[in-house]
Amino acid sequence: MSWLLWCVLIAITVEIIIQYCIMRAAYPVLFAPMPDRFNLIGTLSQLPENDDRIQIRNVKFPTMDGLTLHGFIATPTNTLPKGVILFCHPFKSTGRIALFQCQGLLNAGFAVFAFDFRNHGESETDPRYQSIHWLSQYELNDTRSAIQYLRTQPELSVLPLGMLGMSRGAGTALAVAAKDPEIQFVACEGAFLNEELFLDHAIRWGERFLPPLFIQIVPTSEVIRAFRIMIWYSQRRQGCRYINLKPRVKGLKNRNLLFFTGEKDQSVVPRMTQLIVKRIPDAHITVCSLPGAIHNAGRFAQLEKFDSTLIDFFSRMVESSSPVKELEFSKRMTAPVDPLSSKRSA
């Protein structure tokens, strides 16, 4: 056997060892279903279900591929809403947490439309899909179906529409808004790009399992290669196609974007937001840093700052909305009520 063949075999062996070590350390953390890793803690015990200042109407609507999703529309009592905010919840949560996350917006006169993604809450389960904390085409399909449903609601369809998302829901909001020019205002908490988040975690978690020298000498290209192999394998295992947000965010040009970052967020470190921001040309971007906040818990840590920033942001959406829409909304709200329409329940 020639020396050249030996060199090739040694190189292949080293490559296999490197890839195995990276995937052995990273896959259980980043691609295996982990119920609590990206979860929002404590919110469900603080929902204002019996708040007389808001009315809640439970709704359900079909997806483009035949599932039924459940959600609700919350509106301020005895006043016309200024605008409507579509809320996209994080992995392993439900749309119900919008009653906490959007409480400041509701008190400020906004309507909120939230729903449970498939395989979450009261929505139907898709037997083909095992969801984890990575964004897939199914979350985008669910959100587009929610927007289609919203546009069938006479009292809301003429209002300015904004989006608020958390973690995986933040990626959903950004990806959907990038393709929908009607959505000019998007607020996010804990947003991330898949590849960049993987690199960050692969390095930090790899230090726990692998020798420091291995981390230092392995090229970034090897880590990226391992990431793509794991993406391919995980997609087959979970029955989905993960969404690469990186090229999509360019479609948010000239939009108004608000990013919340938790200073103590170790799941999606604040640097992840900067990696998104620099890829969006000519957007009007606000980054709000929340001291003491961990992942998905910005409002817990900084309630007043969170609410005031969110209200100011979406108030600009109302100010920039078309006067024609406001006139059309007033006409629809003063039109005779259909006695067969569904009743609202507090």
* Ranges of the chain whose pLDDT falls below 50: 35-39, 41, 43-45, 324-330, 332-346
Interatomic CA distance for residues 222 and 324, integer angstroms: 55
Q: What is the reported pTM?
A: 0.84
At residue 189, the 3 state secondary structure works out as strand
- The pLDDT, as a whole number, for residue 36 is 46
- The pLDDT, as a whole number, for residue 322 is 57
- The pLDDT, as a whole number, for residue 341 is 39
Determine the length of the chain: 346
Mean pLDDT of the chain: 84
Q: Quick one: how far is CA 14 from the chain centroid? A: 38
- Among 80, 45, 58, smallest CA distance to 156 is for 80
- The pLDDT, as a whole number, for residue 333 is 45
- The pLDDT, as a whole number, for residue 16 is 75
| Alpha helix segments (H runs only) across the chain | 3-30, 98-101, 103-107, 137-150, 154-157, 168-179, 194-209, 212-217, 220-238, 245-248, 271-277, 298-301, 303-320, 323-333
Interatomic CA distance for residues 135 and 132, integer angstroms: 8
- The pLDDT, as a whole number, for residue 207 is 67
Q: How does strand 84-88 pair with strand 111-115?
A: parallel
- The pLDDT, as a whole number, for residue 340 is 36
- The pLDDT, as a whole number, for residue 50 is 67
Residues 6+ apart with CB under 8 A from 306: 104, 260, 288, 290, 298, 299
